[in-house]
Amino acid sequence: MFGMLRFWIEPGEKIVANQYRYRRWKNRKGPIAALVRGYCKFQHRYWRFVTTCLINIEAEIHPTAKLIHAIGVMIHKDAVIGENCMIMQHVTLGQLAGPGAPKLGRNVYVGAGARVLGPVTIGDNARIGANAVVIKDVPANATAVGVPARIILRDEPASSEAAPESPAQTPSGAA
């Protein structure tokens, strides 16, 4: 029962797994490879219809990426999505007037309704807020919000060295 329910609950996982399978078989020759590619294209069309998303089957999506709510997601064929990325509903990863598509690093969160447009690079562990329009690069460990998106918070990775003590914390007799 739960297996059948899971089949309908997680279409985002089906889309990502299907794209990964298609890319693995894309350059292979022979009748079995052609059959697998045809099956992948059929599945892709089915899940596109069910989720009303427009994800090109040629897009490079890491198999650990998550489309939490795949409804209305649009991904350009040249877009690259890194590992453990989380993409919410109604997100667009696409081109501007010129060539180039977005490249998302590892562990990137893209909020609902966000637009990432043009040849931009989103650094590792970055966060894109809901309804943000990103047209410039976002550095690693940063948060981008607004229209057009601006960096509002930049987390620095924790340093292994201890911070020096301030004079107020030193014993009264130390110089």
Residues 14, 19, 20, 21, Cα dihedral to 10°: 90
Q: What is the pLDDT of residues 7-59, one digit of tens each?
A: 556 777 777 777 788 888 888 899 998 998 888 888 888 888 888 888 888 88
Checking DSSP bridges between strand 80-81 and strand 103-104, what pairing results, if any?
A: parallel
Q: What are the boundaries of each domain within the chain?
A: 9-152
pLDDT digits (tens, 9 = 90+) for 71-127: 888 999 899 999 999 999 999 999 888 888 999 999 999 999 999 999 999 999 999
Domain 9-152: which CATH number of 2.60.120.260, 3.40.50.2300, 2.160.10.10, 3.10.180.10: 2.160.10.10
